[in-house]
């Protein structure tokens, strides 16, 4: 994290000018912030610049357990990342995805706690160094970190706080502007947004014309930009992407909320505990305990996972807290795909997509269960709700989705009949979305309460009674034997 006035230059870590793959990198344009060895074709050499006395542009070194969710991402070049969910760390796409290591602590290379990585993925829409809005990647950890208050993504109505002048905090393991351009020690700085560009999914920080304004540098790539809510809880809204000119220039961050849909679909993890996938307010029990530590302070040690780090109460940033809804109002649920009446080749794998939506004034959906031919077969605890790669034997199969909310209400979808192999399904099986199984007239997911039988309409009962009476009157008298 750094600041430097003067004419932008592209320099190696040793101070000598370097020849870069793309000439634009030496023209005062956006420069990726990886420090160390290049991790992929899109990774750049480190950027540094000579300065007078040591200066961190208004930033400072963090104490033990300061900004604990800002982590060092190693492997093929030094980057920074953020723990946004107990099992998900986000960072920059230009840092690559191979052989990554994740270290919690204040030193990127020693101490703290290193955790095992299961896999890392780069945003498939990322198009290179100038595509800052898609400069997003994530690592899924082998085991969740449950002893540390996370900094979840800024999402839903919270993104309205992203306006010019909003105060934010930056953290990273990047180079500082001391005499040797060293990197690897976590620093942080407070600054404000100077530009917000939703069309490009980016924000801009820094002001190189004002001495002491914090910004970003090599090694800060992927590092967090934090915003504090009214309840004191911190949210992660940005991922450090590029800096204009040398270290300390205008820093561009990818807006994290623009990549949430991909992260959740690709990882199968719901990283937005306070919102549904579409951004609507749908808090669950995990919508609480976000890091509320005061800037620049730390609690505990890494031996006890920063014990004492304060966490927020149940969030109400966009609506009532998760346990303040009406427990008598059940959710709605519908199988979106496949369609009823659809057939597949024998041996094909079937993907099932489900829409489960909370009642506007009811509790959020906790989980969705899939029944196949009346037998519980799969469970999904994460929105968006989907069941991929189902292997079914040849023949007809009936699918039913059951949604359960955090109040314990259970509702089931209209049944969907599908077939595998060479067979014909009964006529009329393609109308499940409009039959009397509970789908609403406006096409919204049905809410078929599994615990409540359907009443027989009074008119139908009256008609049946009249028909029975007429039948008895018209029956011919029995012939005496």
Strands laid side by side in the 332-337 sheet = 332-337, 349-357, 385-391
pLDDT at 388: 94
Tell whether pTM > 0.75: yes
262 Cβ partners below 8 Å, 6+ apart? 123, 124, 125, 136
Given a contact cutoff of 8 angstroms between Cβ atoms, the answer to whether 321 and 315 are in contact is yes
pLDDT tens digits for the chain (481 residues)?
543 333 222 222 223 222 222 222 322 334 455 544 333 323 332 223 222 222 234 468 899 999 999 999 998 788 999 999 999 999 999 999 989 999 999 999 999 999 999 999 999 999 998 899 999 999 999 999 999 999 999 999 999 999 999 999 999 988 766 645 667 889 898 889 999 999 999 999 987 776 667 777 766 889 999 999 999 999 999 999 988 876 777 889 999 999 999 999 999 999 999 999 999 999 999 999 899 999 989 999 999 999 999 999 999 999 999 999 999 999 999 999 999 999 999 999 999 999 999 999 999 999 999 999 999 999 999 999 999 999 999 999 999 999 999 999 999 999 999 999 998 887 765 544 433 334 444 444 544 444 333 344 444 444 444 444 444 344 444 433 3
pLDDT at 266: 95
Nearest residue to 407 (alpha-carbon basis) of 330, 470, 341, 471: 330
Which domains, and CATH codes, for the chain? Answer: 1-324 (2.40.10.120), 332-449 (2.60.40.10)
- Straight-line distance from the first to the last Cα atom of the chain, in angstroms, rounded to the nearest whole number: 108
Backbone angles phi, psi at 446, to 5 degrees: -75, 165
User: What is the secondary structure of 35-81 as a DSSP string?
Assistant: BSS--STT---------SS-B-TT-EE--TTSSTTEEEEESSSBEEE
- Largest Cα separation within the chain, whole Å, is 124
Give the H or E element holding residue 474: helix 458-474
pLDDT at 46: 28
Nearest residue to 260 (alpha-carbon basis) of 366, 131, 125, 155: 155
Query: What is the bridge-based pairing of β-strands 332-337 and 349-357?
Result: antiparallel
- CA 224, 227, 231, 232 torsion: positive or negative? positive
Q: Which two tokens stand for residue 365?
A: 């959906």
Given a contact cutoff of 8 angstroms between Cβ atoms, the answer to whether 7 and 250 are in contact is no
pLDDT at 66: 96
Burial (Cβ within 10 Å: 0-12, 13-18, ≥19) of residue 349:
exposed
Q: Which two tokens stand for residue 8?
A: 């932008």
For residue 25, CA distances in Å to 18, 30, 146 come to 10, 6, 41
CA distance 2 to 189: 9
CA distance 231 to 443: 38
pLDDT at 215: 74
pLDDT at 477: 43
Cα Rg of the chain, angstroms: 28
């Amino acid at each position: 994290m750094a600041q430097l006035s003067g004419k932008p230059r592209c320099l190696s870590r040793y101070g000598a000018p370097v020849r870069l793959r793309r000439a634009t990198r030496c023209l005062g344009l956006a420069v990726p912030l990886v420090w160390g060895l290049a991790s992929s074709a899109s990774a750049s050499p480190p950027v540094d610049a000579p300065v007078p006395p040591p200066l961190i542009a208004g930033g400072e070194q963090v104490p033990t357990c300061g900004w604990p969710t800002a982590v060092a991402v190693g492997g093929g070049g030094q980057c920074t990342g953020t723990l946004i969910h107990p099992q998900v760390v986000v960072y920059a796409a230009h840092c690559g995805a191979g052989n990554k290591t994740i270290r919690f602590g204040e030193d990127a290379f020693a101490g703290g706690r290193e955790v095992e990585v299961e896999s890392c993925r780069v945003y498939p829409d990322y198009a290179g160094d100038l595509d800052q809005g898609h400069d997003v990647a994530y690592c899924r950890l082998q085991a969740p970190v449950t002893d540390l208050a996370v900094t979840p993504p800024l999402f839903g109505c919270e993104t309205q706080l992203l306006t010019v002048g909003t105060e934010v905090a930056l953290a990273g393991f990047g180079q500082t502007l001391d005499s040797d351009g060293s990197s690897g020690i976590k620093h942080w700085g407070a600054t404000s947004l100077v530009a917000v560009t939703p069309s490009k999914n980016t924000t801009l920080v820094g002001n190189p014309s004002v001495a002491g304004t914090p910004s970003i540098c090599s090694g800060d790539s992927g590092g967090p930009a934090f915003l504090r809510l009214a309840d004191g809880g911190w949210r992660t809204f940005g991922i450090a992407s590029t800096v204009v000119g040398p270290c300390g220039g205008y820093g561009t961050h990818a807006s994290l909320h623009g990549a949430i849909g991909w992260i959740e679909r690709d990882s199968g993890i719901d990283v937005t505990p306070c919102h549904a996938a579409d951004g609507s307010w749908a808090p669950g029990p995990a919508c609480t305990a976000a890091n509320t530590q005061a800037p620049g302070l730390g609690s505990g040690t890494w031996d006890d996972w920063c014990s004492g780090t304060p966490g927020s109460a149940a969030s109400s940033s966009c609506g009532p807290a998760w346990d303040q809804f009406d427990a008598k109002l059940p959710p709605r649920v519908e199988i979106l795909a496949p369609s009823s009446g659809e057939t597949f080749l024998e041996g094909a794998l079937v993907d099932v997509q489900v829409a489960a939506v909370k009642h506007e004034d009811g509790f959020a959906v906790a989980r969705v269960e899939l029944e196949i031919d009346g037998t519980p077969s799969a469970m999904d605890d994460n929105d968006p709700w989907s069941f991929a790669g189902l292997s079914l034997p040849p023949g007809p199969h009936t699918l039913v989705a059951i949604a359960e909310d955090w109040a314990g209400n259970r509702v089931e979808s209209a049944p969907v009949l599908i077939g595998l192999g060479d067979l014909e399904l009964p006529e009329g099986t393609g109308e499940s979305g409009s039959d009397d199984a509970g789908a609403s007239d406006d096409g919204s997911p049905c809410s078929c309460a599994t615990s409540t039988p359907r009443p027989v309409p009074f008119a139908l009962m009256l008609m049946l009674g009249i028909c029975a009476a007429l039948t008895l009157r018209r029956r011919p008298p029995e012939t005496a034997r």
